Amino acid sequence: MIDAGELLHEAEQRLAGAGVATPRADAEVLLAHALGVQRSRLGVLVALGERVDPGRFPDLLDQRAERVPLQHLTGRAGFRALDLHVGPGVFVPRPETETVAELAIVAAREVDAPVVVDLCTGSGAIALAVATEVPGASVHAVELDPMAHAWARRNVDEFAPGLDLRLGDAGTSFDDLDGAVDVVVSNPPYVPPGAVPVDAEVALHDPRVALYGLGDDGLQVPRRVVAAAARLLRPGGYVVVEHAEVQELSARAMFAAAAWTDVRSHRDLTDRPRSTSARRR
Beta pairing, strands 115-119 & 260-267? unpaired
Instruction: Quote the DSSP letter at residue 91.
Output: P
Measured CA to CA, the distance from residue 234 to residue 220 in angstroms comes to 24
HSE-up of residue 246 (Cα within 13 Å, Cβ side) = 7
Q: Is 188 annotated as a binding residue?
A: yes
Measured CA to CA, the distance from residue 135 to residue 43 in angstroms comes to 37
Q: Is 190 annotated as a binding residue?
A: yes
Q: What is the dihedral of CA 65, 66, 68, 71, to 10 degrees?
A: 0
For residue 124, CA distances in Å to 20, 42, 64, 135, 265 come to: 27, 30, 25, 17, 24
| 244 contacts: CB under 8 Å, gap ≥ 6 | 190, 191, 218, 274
Calculate Rg over the CA atoms of the chain.
20
Nearest CA to 209 out of 224, 226, 228, 190 is that of 190
Q: Is 189 annotated as a binding residue?
A: yes
Is residue 146 classed as helix, strand or coil in its secondary structure? helix
Q: Which residue ranges are tagged as binding site for substrate?
A: 187-190
Q: Which residue ranges are tagged as binding site for S-adenosyl-L-methionine?
A: 143, 187
Q: Which residue ranges are tagged as binding site?
A: 143, 187-190
